[in-house]
Structure 1
């Protein structure tokens, strides 16, 4: 890496200290980098790979433009950087203006880490927000996969990192819908407890009823589901009796590249007023599965879910009686959600909340409304018939080789299964 060509290559990505550190001396900078980057790395992701990536990036770039997320909060880093850029531009620094216009962000971590960065960039309301490239360093790596960055953990040598930087330089900017998920507990019209999960892009909330409990064999027994289409009114979502779990998606895949709906049936799509799944149309896909453990369905031959609807908002209302809890997951992060034991209602709502910018390679699976050829994502199978009301759970278990009496041991927390 000591030859002249390599040094010139890295200059295309480097940012001088006086841009990054308020009060640092401007020693005279004349070359404007084509693709200045700020790098955020979750050093705890990917086993030792996160730490190794941090060392490699720090060795070939200015160490002050590479940040360990375990040490530096990204909102504080970006707030300081953009405040300094604003000050320099106000003083007539054209170089600072070019850095801001060309800046790109690299984030290395899992889907949760990437969603965190997307949320930070959106919430800061930065002038000319930088687009984000994702290094797959988690378990599912669904977000990197959807935008062409792969789903396997990367190698950490200098040559591989420089190659990734060059792909970032050549990548295309794409808008992606942002989602906000709120969880509210209401008792007689009074909000008792409220918490919000700001998760972007690959909002993957799935709501499970146990396949092995006869009292909760259908997701409709757990929750009442309502959807809103664009600027319309709330309407009840019909859920076939056979549906045991629901996934809400804004990407063409989930759980590391699994295709959830097979090949959309054109006639059914027209009848149900469904369009192709785009990441920037303000709508997300609502997909139902006949198995609470929908990952098993997708790994099975010809396995896929059923597109139930497209919506700009969806609301799940959980009431007393159906079950003590349900399992939920957002952007790869699972949790066990207690359900009401009295007259209270637990409400989970997912809604559209603006857009953020991603960087995508030619290998991307995500589709935009603004593509020159906005064709459907690559798919293999015909969509399931959602009108099928069959509810034979014993037959479903046999398909996956599970005995009728199969149960997970009590000490196994299925919230951590993926």
Structure 2
């Protein structure tokens, strides 16, 4: 009897264990299945949305959570997630999306003007920007918790629903504050109707756009720096004509710049949103325009710095990096007030030793060329980024990785005894080298992410530098630790001189080299740097580009003169 009781108790315990195991497994498996199903549905929905967005005339962007109270422009209901058009700011939930696409028109990039030759307002109701005020009563708009009030997608004017009838010139749009930068739809419509496309015809059509019209193109690299490019594209499409805004991941600069040939000669400005490499890419495309005989359409180039170093942007007064600290509207105001300067561009020829029948490698240089520890850091950084590109999505992370590789080189010293492996000539004269690990040839005032290399600590007199003087500044460094000391103003570089032509001969072994942040490992060769051309850049003279106020007088010697045709210095300043 006792044995039967123990056996029954054992069966009961076993049944309870199996029951517990079943419910435990169910508690684990069911959420996993639900998660996988939701993920599959989400992926399927995204694919469907992507196809729908590609065929739509709107510039739809999907978001899981709007960053402000938002109402559907179709059903007027409050929505937390859905899609918005980054051109006209129409918002809709998923159920109303197709209806919104059919019934609500987007910005027209090309359209005839009104009967009186003016642009007509294009009103979008609801979801007006925060802190916007009515053009009639001057009271704040969008304060009611519903779809209310309207905004013109061209001039950005906001009006209360009750004040719309009282608005003066309700059908006439002035294109707003940035009319001098916007390409009006009627201009492109008239260009399309021209039988003879000639620069003189474009100048005649430009008279209808007002005096001082300097249309601007926006070229953004969505992969630069903090990956802000995509958000900036939407903001610029909202403020300008969407046809002016280009994503460089979808279209090359050379194709985007062909729009310049449909605009009045000498009037176009180009805003490059990206790092120094992106700027060089655009400037190379402009050089291609010159080779095609399109010199009269060459644009003026300005920069919104999204990269890691941004030394060229810093030199031209646009700052060391943009992270949204000022609104896009202020960026456009700064561009309107900017002045035109010329900047030297240089040709770097690399002729490898022993390869006499192969053409030398030819590169363009805007910022600097270097051989030694800083090029080694750039080479290691780029190799790491090629392996794991998703890791390098932040400017802070990028600089931290540079710091780690610099610290490593301080211990290993891979570039020591450079003076025994390389010969340097400035304008044909041999220069005796001290015991160096690196040589840097600079065209601009800044180097290494914000350091004024040629000036160093500023406690020693040095010849002034300019962007348009046809001279290069050549300095030497003793190693990675010396570079770090220069960057924090604790040491001076070894100033080797200034020259119109620089020639370096690498006699033996491989050495790391870089041009404008693009590194490679180079064997024995001869490097010749000569003047190539000049680019027209925009200089923002009112922005302080250095953190130290007491250094403002010294900065004037390294800043470009803010006028269109600066005179290069005489030959007396060719050597330090």
Same-fold call, TM cutoff 0.5: yes
Higher relative contact order (CA 8 A, sep 6+): 1
Name the CA distance, whole Å, in 1 between partners of 2:414 and 2:176: 66
Name the CA distance, whole Å, in 2 between partners of 1:155 and 1:180: 35
Name the CA distance, whole Å, in 1 between partners of 2:267 and 2:484: 43
Matches within 5 A, 1:284-299: 284-292=472-480, 294-299=482-487
Q: Which residue of 2 aligns with 1:367?
A: 559
On the 8 A contact 1:204/1:254 being kept in 2, the answer is no
On the 8 A contact 1:179/1:203 being kept in 2, the answer is no
Matches within 5 A, 1:195-234: 195-200=361-366, 202-208=367-373, 217-228=416-427, 234=428
Name the CA distance, whole Å, in 2 between partners of 1:57 and 1:297: 40
Name the CA distance, whole Å, in 1 between partners of 2:472 and 2:190: 42
| TM-score of the aligned structures, taking structure 1 as reference length | 0.71
On the 8 A contact 1:134/1:149 being kept in 2, the answer is yes
Name the CA distance, whole Å, in 1 between partners of 2:473 and 2:283: 20
The structural deviation recorded for 1:195 is: 1.6
Could you list the runs of 5+ residues in structure 1 that have no partner in the other structure? 86-95, 229-233, 270-274, 340-344, 375-385, 387-418
Change (3 A) 1:147 1:264: same
- Identify the structure with the greater helix proportion: 2
Change (3 A) 1:295 1:278: same
Q: What's the Cα RMSD here?
A: 3.1
Could you list the runs of 5+ residues in structure 2 that have no partner in the other structure? 1-128, 130-150, 158-174, 195-204, 377-408, 546-554, 567-575
Change (3 A) 1:360 1:23: closer
Change (3 A) 1:25 1:61: farther
Q: Tell me, yes or no, if structure 1 residue 101 matches structure 2 residue 277.
A: no
Name the CA distance, whole Å, in 1 between partners of 2:317 and 2:499: 26
Q: Which residue of 2 aligns with 1:194?
A: 360
Of 337, 342, 350, which residue of structure 2 is paired with 1:183?
350
Name the CA distance, whole Å, in 1 between partners of 2:437 and 2:189: 53
* Secondary structure of the structure 2 residue equivalent to 1:163: helix
Name the CA distance, whole Å, in 2 between partners of 1:258 and 1:338: 26
The structural deviation recorded for 1:193 is: 5.2
Q: Which residue of 2 aligns with 1:258?
A: 451
Of 297, 306, 319, which residue of structure 2 is paired with 1:150?
319
- Alpha-carbon displacement from aligned partner over 1:372-415 (angstroms, at most 9, x marks no partner): 9x9xxxxxxxxxxx9xxxxxxxxxxxxxxxxxxxxxxxxxxxxx
Q: Which residue of 1 aligns with 2:511?
A: 326
On the 8 A contact 1:216/1:222 being kept in 2, the answer is no
Name the CA distance, whole Å, in 1 between partners of 2:188 and 2:507: 51
Q: Tell me, yes or no, if structure 1 residue 31 matches structure 2 residue 184.
A: no
On the 8 A contact 2:501/2:531 being kept in 1, the answer is yes
Of 178, 195, 212, which residue of structure 2 is paired with 1:10?
178
On the 8 A contact 2:368/2:440 being kept in 1, the answer is no
Name the CA distance, whole Å, in 1 between partners of 2:514 and 2:281: 15
- Alpha-carbon displacement from aligned partner over 1:72-109 (angstroms, at most 9, x marks no partner): 11112223541xx3xxxxxxxxxx53xx3321110010
Of 319, 332, 335, which residue of structure 2 is paired with 1:165?
332
Of 458, 467, 478, which residue of structure 2 is paired with 1:279?
467
On the 8 A contact 2:371/2:511 being kept in 1, the answer is no
On the 8 A contact 2:477/2:483 being kept in 1, the answer is no
Change (3 A) 1:66 1:303: same
Of 504, 507, 515, which residue of structure 2 is paired with 1:316?
504
Name the CA distance, whole Å, in 1 between partners of 2:471 and 2:431: 15
Q: Tell me, yes or no, if structure 1 residue 355 matches structure 2 residue 521.
A: no
The structural deviation recorded for 1:265 is: 3.3
Q: Which residue of 1 aligns with 2:306?
A: 137
On the 8 A contact 2:260/2:297 being kept in 1, the answer is no
Q: Tell me, yes or no, if structure 1 residue 236 matches structure 2 residue 421.
A: no
Of 515, 522, 526, which residue of structure 2 is paired with 1:338?
522
Q: Which residue of 2 aligns with 1:399?
A: none
